[in-house]
Amino acid sequence: MSDTTPTTAPWWRQAAVYQIYPRSFADANGDGIGDIPGVVSRADYLQALGIDAVWLSPFYPSELADGGYDVADYRNVDPRLGTLDDFDEMVSGLHERHIRVVVDIVPNHTSDQHEWFQEALAAGRGSAARERYIFREGQGENGELPPADWQSVFGGSAWERVADGQWYFHRFAVEQPDLNWDNPEVRADFLKTLRFWSDRGVDGFRIDVAHMLTKDLSEPLPSQAELDAMPQDGNHPLIDRDDVHEVYAEWRAVFNSYDPPRTAVAEAWVSTPERRAKYAHPDSLGQSFNFDLLVADFDAPSFRSIITDNLAQAAATGSSTTWVLSNHDVTRHATRYGLEPLNGRPVKQGTEWVEAGGPADWLDREGGLRRARAATMLMLALPGSAYLYQGEELGLHEVAEITPDQRQDPGFFRGSEYDRLGRDGCRVPLPWTTEGSSFGFGTNGAHLPQPSWFADYAVAVEDADPDSTLSLYRKALELRHRLQTDEQLEWIETGRDDVLRFRRPNGWEVITVFGGEPFPLAGENVVLTTAPLLNGAVPADTTVWITA
List of residues contacting ligand NOJ (CB under 6 A): 66, 69, 106, 172, 208-209, 267, 328-329
The minimum distance between CB 57 and ligand NOJ, in angstroms, equals: 7
Closest CB to ligand NOJ among residues 215, 371: 215
Helix, strand or coil for residue 386?
Answer: strand
The minimum distance between CB 69 and ligand NOJ, in angstroms, equals: 3
The minimum distance between CB 389 and ligand NOJ, in angstroms, equals: 11
Determine the Cα–Cα distance for residues 23 and 64; give it in Å rounded to an integer: 10
Beta strands at 490-491 and 499-504: parallel, antiparallel or unpaired: antiparallel
The minimum distance between CB 53 and ligand NOJ, in angstroms, equals: 18
- Inter-residue contact 23 to 68 (CB < 8 Å): yes
- Inter-residue contact 55 to 203 (CB < 8 Å): no
Q: Which of 267, 409, 462, 509 is catalytic?
A: 267
The phi and psi torsions of 14 (rounded to 5 degrees) equal -140, 50
The minimum distance between CB 208 and ligand NOJ, in angstroms, equals: 5
The DSSP element (H or E) to which 198 belongs, if any, is helix 184-199
Closest CB to ligand NOJ among residues 270, 477: 270
Phi/psi class of residue 196: alpha, beta or left (left: φ > 0; alpha: ψ in -120 to 50)? alpha
Helix, strand or coil for residue 88?
Answer: helix
Beta strands in 320-360 (DSSP E): 322-324
- Inter-residue contact 168 to 162 (CB < 8 Å): yes
Question: For the chain, give me the number of helices (H) and strands (E)?
Answer: 16, 17
- Inter-residue contact 214 to 186 (CB < 8 Å): no
Closest CB to ligand NOJ among residues 106, 528: 106
- 371 Cβ contact list (under 8 Å, min separation 6): 298, 334, 337, 338, 344, 541
Q: Is 115 a catalytic residue?
A: no
Q: Which of 86, 175, 178, 208 is catalytic?
A: 208
When computed from its CA atoms, the radius of gyration of the chain, rounded to whole angstroms, is 23
Closest CB to ligand NOJ among residues 279, 519: 279
Closest CB to ligand NOJ among residues 279, 502: 279
What ranges in 267-423 are assigned the alpha helix state H? Answer: 273-280, 300-317, 333-336, 350-355, 359-362, 365-379, 410-414
Q: What is the largest CA-CA distance in the chain?
A: 80
Closest CB to ligand NOJ among residues 106, 372: 106
The minimum distance between CB 267 and ligand NOJ, in angstroms, equals: 6
Q: Is 267 a catalytic residue?
A: yes
Closest CB to ligand NOJ among residues 113, 437: 113
Active site residues: 208, 267
